[in-house]
């Protein structure tokens, strides 16, 4: 048997850039499920979905096994397919763009703002105007609430609606965040909003995602695509059910279901959502304060937004040297994000350096320093001391 040795070359990091916060209550919630009748397709997933609705004000929530899956079913529910176009931003995780390609659509990007690194409403306006003239409007745009901060959704939504373009918010970073004092996820400015529950995000289900919407039909269709395109609802069937065993496959769906253990963890974690976000904000204010004298750029705050602070991205000169010095000191810094269009896979589709200059110049200087609810003030001082030495 192949007995894997632990990797020796992997550095043990003292302070990671992000980390889950799992309590005894969380552990008890998961073990309780393991002793119950249902490990999947039981009562915990609907309970988790209800908790997401309660926290966001959404009418519907459809949980899945990842945000990537939720973005995919969101695109499918909106009818994205071959011949269609999807736009997102380059400053995001590859999944925001890949889901368009999964559906056979063409993907393009809208550049980001120089100070908050989210979709630039001016760039969107210019690109929409040109696309309308060329008859190449996107079917869907996916703005990303980078680091937990909403983009200018008022303007983005007004423009998209005027051109009949659908909006999916990639709020993977932004559960617990607010825009104009309303919770992200209420879909006041979008058709669908998607959250991630990967362990580095705000609350976790290990792997997991959720899509919210106010629209009954979109919720139904996302639920359908999440589970093989199968319905057991007699009202949705095309034929009369001959008996209780009967179900119908209506679409080519997938198996993107969340397990009961994941959902139970999520229900338990959601009880601490406000505390997690408050602590992240407190730590961010502390970084703002302690870092104010250093030669670096701190993340700007949009006064319309209350950020959930998934990340605290700074910009420095000589990023590679600072990054290495911090890693060598046991500080688990990271970079968010390598612009998606510069990935080899996307270069093969024709994208080039220089296509999205704002996202590229931000990337050249970006470092995300540790930020998570369990980070202590002392940990934070250790990070700042190492940062001071390295700059």
Ligand X SMILES: *Cc1c(COP(=O)(O)O)cnc(C)c1O
Active site residues: 201
- Least distance in angstroms from the C-beta of 197 to ligand X: 6
Distance CA 150, CA 169 (A): 9
Supply the minimum distance, in Å, between the C-beta of residue 66 and ligand X: 3
Segment 80 to 119, residues that bind ligand X, using CB under 6 A: 92-93, 95-96
Least distance in angstroms from the C-beta of 316 to ligand X: 22
Which of 45, 58, 85, 144 is close enough to bind ligand X by CB under 6 A? 144
Q: Give whole-number Cα distances, 323 to 18, 58, 287, 295, 364, in Å.
A: 16, 40, 17, 15, 12
Q: Residue 144 or 267: which CB sits closer to ligand X?
A: 144
Q: Is the peptide bond before 174 cis (omega within 30 degrees of 0)?
A: no
Q: Closer to ligand X at the Cβ: 266 or 382?
A: 266
**Pick 36 or 343: Cβ nearer ligand X:** 343
How remote is the C-alpha of 185 from its chain's centroid? 12
Dist. CA 338–CA 91, nearest whole Å: 7
Of 153-161, 169-177, 235-243, 383-391, the segment contacting ligand X by CB under 6 A is 169-177
20 binds ligand X (CB under 6 A): no
- Which tokens hold the place of 186? 């209420």
172 in contact with ligand X (CB under 6 A): yes
Compare residues 20 and 92 and give the one whose CB is closer to ligand X: 92
How far is the first Cα of the chain from the last one, in angstroms, to the nearest whole number?
48
Considering the complex, state which of residue 92 and residue 259 has its C-beta at the smaller distance from ligand X: 92
CB 117 within 8 A of CB 143: no
Q: What is the spatial distance between Cα 97 and Cα 198, in angstroms, rounded to a whole number?
A: 18
Query: What is the pattern of x (binds ligand X, CB under 6 A) and - over residues 35-54?
Result: --------------------
Pick the piece of the chain touching ligand X (CB under 6 A) from 62-70, 151-159, 297-305, 325-333: 62-70
Contact between 169 and ligand X (CB under 6 A)? no
| One of 19, 60, 178, 198 touching ligand X (CB under 6 A) | 198
Q: Does 205 bind ligand X (CB under 6 A)?
A: no
Secondary structure (3-state) at 194: strand
Closest by alpha carbon to 233, among 218, 257, 250?
Answer: 250
CA atoms within 13 A on the CB side of 309: 30
Q: By CB under 6 A, is residue 173 in contact with ligand X?
A: yes
Distances (CA, A) of 170 to 120, 152, 175, 262: 15, 14, 10, 21
Binding site for ligand X (CB under 6 A): 66-68, 92-93, 95-96, 144, 170, 172-173, 196, 198, 209
């Amino acid at each position: 048997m192949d007995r894997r040795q632990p990797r020796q070359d992997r550095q043990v990091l003292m302070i990671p850039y992000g980390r889950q916060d799992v309590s005894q209550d969380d552990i008890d919630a998961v073990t309780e499920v393991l002793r119950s009748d249902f490990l999947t397709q039981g009562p915990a997933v609907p309970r988790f979905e209800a908790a997401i609705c309660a926290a966001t004000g959404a009418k519907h929530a459809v949980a899945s096994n990842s945000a990537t899956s939720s973005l995919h079913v969101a695109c499918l529910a909106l009818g994205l397919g071959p011949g269609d176009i999807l736009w997102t931003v380059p400053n995001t995780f590859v999944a925001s763009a890949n889901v368009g390609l999964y559906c056979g659509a063409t993907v393009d990007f809208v550049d980001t703002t120089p100070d908050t690194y989210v979709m630039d409403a001016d760039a969107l306006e210019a690109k929409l105007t040109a696309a309308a003239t060329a008859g190449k409007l996107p079917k869907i745009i996916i703005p990303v609430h980078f680091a937990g901060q909403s983009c200018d959704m008022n303007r983005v939504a007004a423009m998209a609606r005027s051109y009949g373009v659908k909006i999916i918010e990639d709020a993977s970073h932004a559960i617990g965040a607010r825009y104009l004092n309303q919770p992200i996820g209420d879909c006041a400015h979008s058709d669908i909003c998607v959250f991630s529950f990967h362990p580095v995000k705000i609350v976790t289900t290990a792997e997991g995602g959720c899509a919210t919407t106010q629209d009954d039909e979109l919720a139904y269709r996302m639920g359908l695509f999440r589970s093989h395109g199968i319905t057991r609802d007699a009202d949705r069937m095309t034929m009369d059910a001959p008996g209780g065993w009967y179900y119908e496959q209506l679409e080519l769906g997938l198996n993107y279901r969340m397990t009961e253990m994941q959902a139970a963890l999520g229900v338990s974690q959601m009880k601490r959502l406000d505390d997690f976000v408050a602590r992240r904000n407190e730590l961010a204010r502390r970084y703002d304060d302690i870092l104010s004298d250093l030669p670096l750029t701190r993340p700007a705050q949009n006064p319309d937004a209350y950020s959930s602070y998934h990340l605290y991205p700074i910009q420095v000169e000589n990023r590679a040297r600072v990054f290495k010095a911090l890693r060598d000191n046991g500080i688990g810094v990271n970079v968010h994000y390598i612009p998606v269009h510069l990935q080899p896979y996307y270069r093969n589709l024709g994208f080039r350096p220089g296509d999205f200059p704002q996202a590229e110049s931000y990337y050249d200087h970006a470092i995300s320093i540790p930020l998570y609810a369990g980070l202590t003030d002392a940990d934070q001082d250790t990070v700042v001391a190492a940062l001071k030495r390295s700059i």
